[in-house]
Amino acid sequence: MSATIIGLASAASHRFSKEPQQKVTLFAGLGVAGDAHAGRTVQHLSRMKQDPSQPNLRQVHLIHAELFDELAGQGFAIEPGQMGENVTTRGIDLLGLSAGTRLRIGAEAVIEITGLRNPCHQLNGLAAGLMAATLDRDADGALIRKAGVMAVVITGGEIVVGEAITLESVPLVHEPLGPV
């Protein structure tokens, strides 16, 4: 199976879930057009309080639909955009990518993976226990964050539900993803 965009979402205001869209435009160095989290510097409210001059490494949030399948098995009914993501994918192991991996989304847009989304308590506002369901432990007891990855926009362009996602480039040395 090839990697595909199965959902797109954006929200002009700072709120947890985003509104489903059939297409969105990505702007280089900024993020999703019209989304509250677009900008060169941090736009997440908690990070703005810490240091508003930090670079925005969270311009685009991607979640793999396979997580929704896993969550459905635990009784959670999650739709694209509900967990705050901009792009819902199917067929690509987002969590296994290296930091610095570049993905082509649709015909023009290129994003670079910066790290993991750190799930927050707001997930429990969507459904009780959802935050815990997006966390796990590996065999050594290390925390696994499953709520998607964050990226910056390298090359802008319009992206549409149903378009392909392909690997544009992968770093020579794999750098495991950490929270950003």
Are the CB atoms for 161 and 169 separated by under 8 Å?
no
In CATH terms, the superfamily for domain 4-11+18-169 is PK beta-barrel domain-like (2.40.33.20)
- For 19-75, what is each residue's pLDDT tens digit? 999 999 999 999 999 999 999 999 987 777 888 899 999 999 999 999 999 999 999
pTM (predicted TM-score): 0.96
Indicate the domain borders of the chain.
4-11+18-169
- For 61-82, what is each residue's pLDDT tens digit? 999 999 999 999 999 999 999 9
Query: For residues 42 and 53, what is the distance between their CA atoms, to the nearest angstrom?
Result: 7
Q: How far is CA 161 from the centre of its chain?
A: 15
The strands making up 23-27's β-sheet, listed across from edge to edge, are: 31-32, 23-27, 157-160
Query: For residues 100 and 151, what is the distance between their CA atoms, to the nearest angstrom?
Result: 9
Buried b (16+ CB within 10 A) or exposed e, 3-31: bbbbbbbbbeeeeebbeebeebbbbeebb
